[in-house]
Structure 1
Amino acid sequence: MEIQEMKIVIFFIVMTSAATEEIKKNLTCTEGGSITLPDPVVEFGFLSYGRTVIASVTDRISRITEESFRYRLFWNNNTGLFTFTRLQTGDSGIYTIDSKRRGGTTSYRLTVYEPAPTPGVNRSRVSADSCTLVCFVEKAHETTLYWFKGEKILNQTSTGPSLPLTVDKQDFNSSYRCVAANPADEKTLPVNVNALCSEDKNTDQTNSVTREREVLYTADERNGQGENLPDSSPAVDRSYLTTVYDKLEVHRMALTDTDVD
């Protein structure tokens, strides 16, 4: 009994080691994307997901045996290759091709990632000789941020939501870009440093905000405080309004007299 149990344990260890060694390559894809496994099953064989057979080929005829892959997994009868479409993150796992004609199995570890988020850039500080920019993403899960100058990586962060960069004034016209990437996808944002860090532009924006506040304050003062103006308020405005009223009254009376005549 003990010998039999030992044989079972040894067999389990050998099978586990073999399964680990069978993994030929790590594959990556983004959600909604497609991927083709590179090993063919031409005449007879199987495709498994974990320990579940999801497709089989017999005499050059394929059959999808797992319902969840029925309309997302296709077999090419010319090349013998399996292609997955409309992949989701839940499809990540180990896929094994068992081709009986070749007499062996090959496994692939597939990881499906969400698309990389689109990065944004804000200006955080401007001085006489430099400007600091911040590249950021709203969702940083499994995302790495990079700052590039031309084709050179200046700095990077691992799964962080933001990454600052200080640019010297003499480099404002150089080519910069911020990149957000995961193992399967990346998004790039070209950055015009000269436009973001222009002091003239910043001054104009500040003055515009100041002027807008002044206009709003003047309007409130006229609408809400006109009845409570102090005695020192210009009397010209009030006398002008009274004079206009008097003239209108005289004009109307003159017309009335004419009509009577």
Structure 2
Amino acid sequence: MRFSLTEEVKKNLSGSVGGNITLPDPLLEKGFLSYGRTIIAEVNKGEPEILEEIYMNKLHWDRNTGLFTLTDLQRNDSGIYTIDSKKGKVFTTSYKLTVYDSVAPPAVKKVTVSSEICSLLCSVDKETTLLWFKDEEILNQSSSALSLPLTVQQQDFSSSYRCVAANPAENKTVTVNVKAICGGNDTNSSDYPAQRNYIILFVIFFLTAALAIIIIIIIVIKRKHPVKNKWKLLRAGSVDAVLLYTDTRDSRQGGILPAVSGTSDRSSLTTVSYKLVDHHMITDPADDVWQQSADLTTDTD
């Protein structure tokens, strides 16, 4: 007579929509898998048979391990699954499977920042469990929420923080660099526009000062190094007078240079004398030309 031990154990399992779940106890030789009161699969002499059509493509049995796996989970797959082993290791085990919506990665944004604190907000699209961690320590949590705030002191900006969105089936984590998000500064966020205006005014002042210095340098250079041999052409009535001056400090080098202007047939000929003077004697040749005037002689045939 063969002695067998029958044991019934209920275990909680969880899965996410679109994911997979493997029932942890093997059925190797002979037995049944039930969903509620309905037998959905049978194993006989090491060969599986799927008895319910809706499980044809989503329930799989591993010949080597004897384990059943449900794939492409949906919310309506939640329920009680029972393995009833009839040969070999005889047992009956039930599992309560709960399928949850997949968890989306949380998003973290800065709310406010000052010289002493930085306020952060972790948020998700669907209500789920949210947790704030500093290293491995839980700082704040909510079992069912769309967002969860956290206030970080300035002296803790360099610590490691993470926000976790979780359900019993899975979790998604985002690591937060507080120093990068909050700027690592000691200035209230409301002061940022004023700081920007100060910077703009400083740049404008600097450029204006630089331009003024360049203009002054150009003027000084021109005064120290005047252009030599300048000609100034002045017009007085119908007579043209040309003043030639040189870059010499010896006024004795001045002289009279003759020049002639008029028509090609000499019917109206004007003789103009030019006086060569030292330009250092003249503040403005245009203003003093008549005081340093040339001798003008007009001959008309």
What is the TM-score of this pair, normalised by structure 1? 0.66
Shift of 1:126: 1.7
1:197 aligns with 2:173: no
Aligned in 2, Cα 1:208/1:45: closer, same or farther, shift over 3 Å? farther
SS at match of 1:137: strand
Shift of 1:202: 5.2
Asked whether the equivalents of residues 23 and 109 of structure 1 are also in contact (C-alpha less than 8 Å), the reply is no
The aligned residue for residue 56 of structure 2 is 70
Shift of 1:166: 0.8
Please tell me whether Structure 1 or Structure 2 has the larger radius of gyration of its CA atoms. 2
1:162 aligns with 2:147: yes
Aligned in 2, Cα 1:26/1:86: closer, same or farther, shift over 3 Å? same
1:29 aligns with 2:7: no
Coordinate RMSD, CA, aligned: 2.4
The aligned residue for residue 11 of structure 1 is none
The aligned residue for residue 89 of structure 1 is 75
1:129 aligns with 2:116: yes
Structure having the higher strand fraction is 2
Shift of 1:186: 0.7
Q: Could you report, residue by residue, the CA deviation over 1:134-192 in whole angstroms, capped at 9, with x for unpaired residues?
A: 1111211xx11111111111111111111111111111111111111111111111111
Shift of 1:105: 1.3
Larger relative CO (CA 8 A, sep 6+): 1 or 2? 1
Aligned in 2, Cα 1:107/1:203: closer, same or farther, shift over 3 Å? same
**Structure 1: where are the runs of 5+ without partners?**
1-20, 211-261
1:105 aligns with 2:96: no
Q: Could you report, residue by residue, the CA deviation over 1:195-218 in whole angstroms, capped at 9, with x for unpaired residues?
A: 2222579579747999xxxxxxxx
Q: How does 1:134-149 map to 2 (within 5 A)?
A: 134-140=121-127, 143-149=128-134
The aligned residue for residue 174 of structure 1 is 159
Aligned in 2, Cα 1:139/1:78: closer, same or farther, shift over 3 Å? same
* Runs of 4 or more consecutive aligned structure 1 residues displaced over 6 Å after TM superposition: 207-210
What is the TM-score of this pair, normalised by structure 2? 0.58
Structure having the higher helix fraction is 1
Shift of 1:130: 0.8
Which residue identity lines up with residue 165 of structure 2 in the other structure?
A: A
Asked whether the equivalents of residues 175 and 191 of structure 1 are also in contact (C-alpha less than 8 Å), the reply is yes
Q: Could you report, residue by residue, the CA deviation over 1:208-251 in whole angstroms, capped at 9, with x for unpaired residues?
A: 999xxxxxxxxxxxxxxxxxxxxxxxxxxxxxxxxxxxxxxxxx
Asked whether the equivalents of residues 87 and 112 of structure 1 are also in contact (C-alpha less than 8 Å), the reply is yes
**Structure 2: where are the runs of 5+ without partners?**
1-6, 198-301
Which residue identity lines up with residue 90 of structure 1 in the other structure?
A: N
Aligned in 2, Cα 1:67/1:207: closer, same or farther, shift over 3 Å? farther
Q: Could you report, residue by residue, the CA deviation over 1:37-69 in whole angstroms, capped at 9, with x for unpaired residues?
A: 122222211100001110011222111011111
